[in-house]
Structure 1
Amino acid sequence: MNEPEFAELAAGHSLGALSAEDERRYRVALAAHPEWSPIADDDADTAALLAEGASPVAPPPVLRDALLARIAVTPQNPDTEGETAAAGEGVVSTGSETVPDVAPDEPPVPDSRRQERARSASAAGGEGASRRPRRLLFALAACLVLIVGLGVGAAVVIPQLLRPAAVVALDRIESEPDAAQKTVALPSGGHATAHWSASIGTAVLVSDGLEPLDGNQTYELWFVRGDAPVSAGVFAAEQGTTTAQLRGSMHAGDAIAVTVEPAGGSPTGKPTSQPIVVIPTS
């Protein structure tokens, strides 16, 4: 067994996801290679940290169904003899259990046996490739166990990770004591509201009714700092409400503007058209 294979088993052990046979292989490998114990310790600490204070809950049915479907089409007959040979180098059998071979006076392996082992290893390349789906399946199962272990924590954290950055920025602005906002009408009949917090230098524009553009044009955001416009990124309007975060740091007194520019943004770094939105923040 090599170190990456041990690391896979250590991850599964820390999650309580190993079969009885893999658990035995894990313990034998750990006894034979004490220098790998930091890998196991790190995985155990990580699993404990992730599950701390979380109540277990059942995984979503769709996740369980996907895992069972994957198991149904994945070969479940690993070559235990081949795996034992890979894991058992430097290990001897005592009849009742397998223990590390620590005999100091083991004779050197003859060249002929080395050559035979090399040929066997080359022939085993296909077997190693056939085990890859099982390793992928193991990783999928470990993810399922982790989600179950996280419980309520996963139900809270995962949706947070999937939220758009502009929405996350808007929530952060609204949580600041100096959060402010201002709304103006759009030429199309909708409205646009700028949200900002000077203390964190972040601004977000929320528009309702901003017309989508064709592929040759885009909307560009600007901080208007005195008489100097500073590009704050481009965005595409969606049907209904569009939320866009201004790139860069907002300065006190900046106005927030929107222009229509060629696809990709202004080629000159300055507005090429009159702004359709200007929102003062002071």
Structure 2
Amino acid sequence: MDKQKNELTGSFALNALNDAEREELLRDAEASQDVRQEVEAMQETAALLGLSAAPVAPPARVKANIMSAIRNTPQLPPAAAPHQAQDAAAEAATDHAPESATETGPDPLPRISPPAPARGSRRMFALAAGVLLVAAGALGGVVANQNAQQQKLEDQLAALNTKQAELTRILSAADVRSKTQELDNGARVTLAYSATEGMMAVTTAGLPALPSDKGYELWLISGTGAVSAGMVDGAKADGMVMVSGSMQGVTHFGITVEPASGSPAPTSDPILVQAL
């Protein structure tokens, strides 16, 4: 595949082509199996980005809060028609109009001041104030917990945005390459990498779960040996790992099973060796 077509496959996966470029690449894909395989690999790599972020379930209290608000929020009465409102106002004015000056009636009652609250009422007010203070403290704890969860979500979103930006750099590079290998157990490992960018996206799917003291270690292999490129959690192996660093002279990519803390050099036979 020539350089120009290789650039188009990465941009096609990111939906960054104009109509003419898209039609050109689709024609090339129909005529060339290499181009078609490259397009499919790039699309798979881009689509798997979403799988690299762990799903975040909303807190259970969200539904409870919504249902509580529905139960406790009073419904407004239907609005009266304009003529009904006018009739009600006229009736109220008639009921409260002062009697005619020619009519005689009893002397108006003297204004009576409301009685001072009784001692028992003051105790009830004090108790209510104490309850409000306790409720305010509990509400403060809920708000703090919500803030912590909000911060966690924001951190996860920032990490996902960073990973997406790095993957975009890889797929937009002029020398982007993509490789997919299926293991004997059906697991799949897809690589998308750019030597000029010094970056590689490693997507794993179906790797068997490992004991808690084991993990999958990634290796960049050259004529001088293997250099560790990071770890994949053995308990949650499906996802995407971004590898960065110089790829000068790197000819192969490998995966071995190592202690969860990692090893400075491979200690077991590789489960995957992929030529780059």
TM-score range, shorter chain: 0.3 to 0.5
Q: TM-score, normalised by structure 2?
A: 0.42
Larger Rg belongs to: 2
Q: TM-score, normalised by structure 1?
A: 0.41
| Structure having greater relative contact order (Cα 8 Å, sep ≥ 6) | 2
